[in-house]
Amino acid sequence: WALHLKNVTISLSGQYECSFATYPYGTKAAKIQLIVKAEEEQHYVKEVQLNQTLEIPCLEDVTSENLFNYPLKWLVGENGKKEELVTKEPSCPAVYRSSSALKITDDGRVFSCHVMYHPERVQKSSTTVRVFGK
């Protein structure tokens, strides 16, 4: 016998017990402890020249089409503060807050993308930008 769990979330962590009756031996039981860990945030560093255009994928190895059905947001962080750049609801176009060429002041800024597959399953990726003058 097997228990199949789909779309596993942290709330499914806990102890599971399987018991069944056999004749003539009686009831048999087995217990298992399930621990569901939160997904770790991926972190990247991109190095670019001043005034160069930089494209940062939301999640490495995941195409934009695969993210279309999920809400996501882009944030930029600097000095402990985060500003929302882009929000996108499922199956809708993204709403952009601002867009500009890279400036030397972008050096060290952290751009992060959060994709919500489920209220308990948010995948995060962050990219630190290093801008170099010519």
What residue ranges do the domains of the chain occupy?
Answer: 42-132
The reported pLDDT for the residue numbered 32 is: 92
pTM over 0.85: no
- Nearest Cα neighbor of 124 from 27, 39, 21 is 39
Tell me the pLDDT tens digit for each residue of 55-101: 888 877 766 666 777 888 889 888 888 888 888 887 776 665 555 55
User: What is the pLDDT, as a whole number, of residue 104?
Assistant: 58
CATH 3.40.50.1700 fits 42-132, yes or no: no
Single out the residue of 84, 76, 86, 81 nearest to residue 110, CA to CA: 76
Model pLDDT, residue 39:
75
Average pLDDT of the chain to the nearest whole number = 81
